[in-house]
Amino acid sequence: MTPPPVLVAFESRFGATAEVARVVGEELAARGHAVSVRRTSEVLDPTPYGAVIVGAPVYSRRWLESASAWVRAHGESLRGRPLWFFALGIRVPDGPHANERHTVRLLRRLHHLVPGIEPRRIGLFAGRVNPAIVGLREQLQLRVFRPRTGDFRDWDKIRDWSRGVAEELGSAAPASARSVSTR
Ligand SMILES: Cc1cc2nc3c(=O)[nH]c(=O)nc-3n(C[C@H](O)[C@H](O)[C@H](O)COP(=O)(O)O)c2cc1C
């Protein structure tokens, strides 16, 4: 019997987290899991999925609210399902503005997002800041904040984390189930 697919649900304002979600999906698929990579807004019901990974960027010290809202809205269905979170930011440990207090607060918030829901692990990855592609509001924030700009994503670290998730998911599905669906 084919095991149920794994859902990689993501939110992303300017595409950096979307690309990471795709790579997480690729790594799981390479290990035999059927994977579906979708924006959280496209997932009306996570019940058909055997395991769920939710990824979103951090803006103004918080995981993007739409991702938190999705987890809260589906708390009932996510409870008891293998669950992982990941977050992209620049204040996370490998980011150019690593900040321990910020990281600790972020992890605590994510662990306690919904009572009774406990992600197995939370991946924290450095993200991308490109002032040329963000909106006016973000440009104003960046003018105050003046972060180092660039693409700080460490693909080896992201792939390693994804392989860890694949291992925790247990034995791989049959080769015939290998696929990444983005629709
Ligand atoms: C206006 C603005 C505010 C941000 N605030 C934070 C923050 O508080 N903490 C952090 O770690 N990263 C922060 N970041 C960095 C983003 O999390 C990072 O750029 C991320 O890769 C964006 O992902 P996306 O392209 O998927 O939206 C901020 C970026 C911008 C543009």
Residues 57, 11 contacting (CB under 8 angstroms) = yes
Q: pTM here?
A: 0.93
Residue of 11, 19, 39, 59 best suited for mutating to test ligand 1, as the one with most atoms within 8 Å of CB: 59
Residue 71 corresponds to which tokens in the numbers above? 């987890």
Contact status, residue 11 vs residue 64, Cβ threshold 8 Å: yes
| Per-residue pLDDT at 54 | 98
Share of the chain above pLDDT 90, in %: 84
59 within 8 A of 17, measured Cβ to Cβ: no
**Enclosing H/E stretch for 38:** strand 34-39
- Indicate whether residue 87 lines ligand 1 (CB < 6 A): no
- Residue ranges of the domains in the chain? 6-170
Residue 47 burial class via C-beta count within 10 angstroms: exposed 0-12, middle 13-18, buried 19 and up: exposed
Looking at 3.40.50.300, 3.40.50.360, 3.10.350.10, 1.10.10.10, the CATH number of the domain 6-170 comes to 3.40.50.360
The answer to whether 129 and 142 have CB atoms below 8 angstroms apart is yes
Identify the pLDDT of residue 49: 97
Q: By alpha-carbon position, which residue is closest to atom 6 of ligand 1? A: 59
Which is the closest atom of ligand 1 to the Cα of 97? 11
pLDDT of residue 3: 82
| CA pair distance 171, 37, nearest whole angstrom | 20
Positions in the chain short of pLDDT 50: 172-177
pLDDT (tens digit, 9 = 90+) per residue, 3-30? 899 999 999 999 999 999 999 999 999 9
Would you say the CB of residue 155 lies under 6 angstroms from ligand 1? no
Question: CB-based contacts of 98: which residues, under 8 Å, 6+ apart?
Answer: 91, 92
Q: How many whole angstroms from 63 Cα to the centroid of ligand 1? A: 9
Q: What is the pLDDT of residue 183?
A: 59
pLDDT of residue 74: 97
